[in-house]
Chains A and B, each alone.
Chain A
Amino acid sequence: MSFTFRTSFLALAAGASLLGTSALAQATREYTPVTDEMILNPPAEDWLMWRGTVDNHGYSQLDILNKDNVGDLELAWAWPMADLGLQETAALVHDGILFLQTNNSIVQALDAVTGDLIWEYRHPLPEISSTWGYQIYQSRRQKNSIALYDDKVYLTTVDAKIVALNAVDGKVAWERQVNDYSKGYSYTVGPLVVNGKIIAATSGCSITGTAGACYITGHDAENGEELWRFNTIDDPNNPLVDASWGDVPPENRWGGTPWATGSYDPRTNLTFWGIGMPAPYAELVRGSGDGDALYTNSTLALDADTGELKWYYQHLPRDNWDLDSPFERVLIDQEIDGEMHHMLVTVAGKNGIAFALDRDTGEYLWSMDTIYQNSVTHIDDDGTVHINEELVPTAIGQQVMICPSVSGGKLWQAASYSPKTEQFYVPLTEACNNVTAIQAEFTAGNATGSMTFGPRVLPEGITEAGLLQSIGISPDTPEDAWKHRQRTSMTSTVLATAGGLVFAGDAGRYIKAFDDESGEVLWEQRLNAPVGGAPTTYAIDGVQYLVVPTGYSAAAASSASMFPEVPLPSGAGNSIFVYKIGSATN
């Protein structure tokens, strides 16, 4: 499908006078609709979705900015985000407009060259009880992205709606209530839009009222009509799911939240999603015995048109420690001796283990440890994962030291794959924490974890919390390419580029550019707050821009005691800094 029409719009007359001359100059801005073809093969100059492409590579083909000139980057403009809270966002760019989503479901459109505000959408949120602590916290957990398609911006909201905004003016085209927010459902990740369908993943599924169900849903992008719904913790089509929960009926199951945006393979029309941990966390309280608690901590391969499950693979069965495994599933193709290998590669969970699967069948190919972890003892050749049964709590009040901590290891900060180097760059944190199973009555709006966590501490013998690890990818065996270790933890998503650069940021407020082959630090800037969210890049008129989000970082705050000589700011500072390089060519 190809759109040829263009939409024109006028800046609001009142707004234009407030915004000054640059807004007046944009009074006749045009917006080219995002087509299906663009989604599958985005222009290098744009950043259309969370990880740039539907294979979740987080890689830019732009090379205006490269190893030779990265030292010449200069600040083009900066912008404060519209609300406080955890900072996990990725700015999207199309047709010269930068779309920025911030906490509490606010979206802003900015001129990507000048930084002028074009429009702002503030989603009206329902009032909820102030005692619903975890649910309120979810609203301040900024989503990783919005999505662009056709002439719309798709927003998944704190109150469990999908909202379609007109890209040119931010006006609501339609909205659809997908789940009941009063039970605890919300969204903390943005949707994937492919083939005219919005695929959205529900959050909040560890909150009391959500018992029995957590969903991935498919919708018509034209009007939000629901086309299919897949429950990640109750599947009548697979008797192994009930068996894996022991005697626990669906109404006493929680978790299974798919809280990272999925990837998509147009060749098979499969969409791949990672699923989070079960709750209550400890099987002692969960009541599931030694069952695996499907489909928690798994990869799901779903038909994008129907939601039908094609295969699943569980990366961490029988989770007892809140070691979520929902993170980005990255699709990598490599041709070796004339044979094309279609892999799914992921550091799926907090315990940092890298996996490669055949993404057509779910067959296990290989795995490797990254950070120090003691949750998994070994993985069989057929991919069966064996947990460390010595660390399974067997009594209320029993304390065990588990590595990594509840904060990872790996967390929401996404890795990046460069097809140029065939290396996978993973942001990680070395940490352990004590966990203790507790038993308490669940309350409305709050989480059902039933576990206390001690402070994050460095594993014995390790003095550096931060690790950026590069893994050479092949279908047969992974290669330990290079490691960059540092005292402060890695707090941002990673961006790799055709310019030979890997960008990643840390709790010490540094954004760094690494040489993609050696790991050498080629450039760094110290900013106002921990670097969070996803650095992204775009180009306009021969100038390449680099967007660096900063702000309040739970990953930084929870690990700061491991590097007390690098104090965090007490202000939040949620912002984006936009750097540029190159000459405008018009």
Chain B
Amino acid sequence: MQNSESRKHRLKLGMALGILGFAGSLAPASAYTEEQAVTGRSQYTAQCAMCHGAQLEGGDAPGLTEDTMHNFNTVEGLFDMISVTMPPQMPGELGDQVYIDIIAYLLDFNGAVPDGDMLTPDPVVMANINLMDEITAGRLAGGGDAPEPEVAPSGLPQAFTWGQQLPGSEPVQTEPALPQAFTFGQDLPTVE
């Protein structure tokens, strides 16, 4: 579940940064430490890279880039999946701290920026961290090892609901360049 307060805060901050042009210096940071990301990288290389690729590009298994981050939505969503199912040769056997460190590395690689606080496998904390929000905010500050996403051609299709306020969703701030859901930007019902 997404923390609407946190996301609202970030959207407002993002807008403010855009207006003030301070994105580089004041970009929001993510709730993990640099050390966690380093430890996570080591664990990722040992446990995950053989299928997901050394550069998270995928191999046998999917790449762990934007598509995956969209799919799992929050740190909690990703943790709940991988802490039970991964790696397939030892599903759920690595220990919570290893899984959370690996998530710190995935965030870091994709562009998020560490803020000095440990990321912990606390369900409430994890549910309040939206993966793509962290990555998007971090990229504003130039974070991450992943290649810059290709600038999307304008006018790509989006869901019929794109731009609409759906129950449980946040107001959309900008016109999307790509096609979006028909409901995009609508206020959809959301679980409290």
Contacts and interface: CB of A to CB of B under 8 A. Distances in A.
A301 B147 CA distance: 45
A439 B70 contact: no
A397 B1 CA distance: 5
B188 A556 contact: no
B92 interface: yes
A582 to B, nearest CB: 36
Nearest to A87: B60
B181 A252 contact: yes
A448 B67 contact: no
Contacts of A560: 85, 88, 91
Given A252-B158, A253-B160, A556-B88, A442 B179 contact: yes
A124 interface: no
A445 B66 CA distance: 10
B93 to A, nearest CB: 8
B63 A133 contact: yes
B41 to A, nearest CB: 18
Interface in B140-182: 146-147, 149-150, 152-153, 156-162, 164, 166-169, 172, 176, 178-182
A394 B167 contact: yes
Contact of A286 (B176, B181, B189): B181
Contact of A444 (B150, B162, B183): B150
Contacts of B67: 133-134, 137, 443, 445-447
Contacts of B188: 284-285, 395-396, 439
Of A441, A445, A450, A554, which is in contact with the most chain B CB atoms at under 10 Å from its CB? A441
Interface stretch (A72-80, A90-98, A565-573): A565-573
B157 A251 contact: yes
Contacts of A442: 156-159, 162, 176, 178-181
A211 B157 CA distance: 6
B132 A440 contact: yes
A212 B60 contact: no
A209 interface: yes
A379 interface: no
Interface stretch (A14-22, A195-203, A453-461): A453-461
B157 A208 contact: yes
A396 B169 CA distance: 6
Nearest to B164: A287
Contacts of A541: none
Contacts of A454: 77, 80-81
B120 interface: no
B26 interface: no
A446 to B, nearest CB: 4
A536 to B, nearest CB: 23
A151 to B, nearest CB: 34
A491 B73 CA distance: 29
Contacts of B63: 130, 133, 136-137
Contacts of B13: none
A439 B60 contact: no
B116 interface: no
Interface in B51-100: 51, 55, 57-63, 65-68, 70-73, 77, 80-81, 84-85, 87-93
A84 interface: yes
A85 B63 CA distance: 12
Contacts of B90: 564, 567
Given A280-B181, A449-B71, A568-B88, A395 B190 contact: yes
B57 A288 contact: no
Contacts of B19: none
A131 interface: yes
Contact of B149 (A129, A208, A396): A129
A140 interface: yes
A486 interface: no
Contact of B179 (A137, A208, A455): A208
Contacts of B33: none
A436 interface: yes
A396 B190 contact: yes
B30 interface: no
B57 A450 contact: no
A248 interface: yes
B2 interface: yes
Contacts of B20: none
Contact of B169 (A248, A439, A446, A447): A439
A285 B191 contact: no
B159 A252 contact: yes
A443 B139 CA distance: 16
A287 B183 contact: yes
B150 A132 contact: yes
A508 to B, nearest CB: 12
B161 A286 contact: yes
Contacts of B88: 556-557, 560, 567-568, 570
A397 B132 CA distance: 16
Interface in A412-460: 436, 438-456
Contacts of A86: 60
A196 B183 CA distance: 44
A320 to B, nearest CB: 14
A398 interface: yes
Contacts of A286: 159-161, 181-183
A287 B166 CA distance: 10
A557 B191 CA distance: 31
A444 B150 CA distance: 8
Interface in A388-409: 394-399
A552 interface: yes
A561 interface: yes
A211 B179 CA distance: 7
B74 to A, nearest CB: 8
Nearest to A570: B89
A459 B181 CA distance: 32
Contacts of B149: 129, 131, 443-444
A109 B72 CA distance: 41
A397 B157 CA distance: 24
A444 B160 contact: no
Interface of B: 1-2, 50-51, 55, 57-63, 65-68, 70-73, 77, 80-81, 84-85, 87-93, 132, 146-147, 149-150, 152-153, 156-162, 164, 166-169, 172, 176, 178-184, 188-191
9 contacts: A129-B147, A131-B149, A133-B62, A280-B181, A396-B190, A442-B178, A448-B181, A557-B61, A557-B85
Nearest first, the 7 A-B pairs at minimum CB distance are: A211-B157, A396-B168, A287-B182, A133-B67, A252-B160, A287-B160, A395-B189
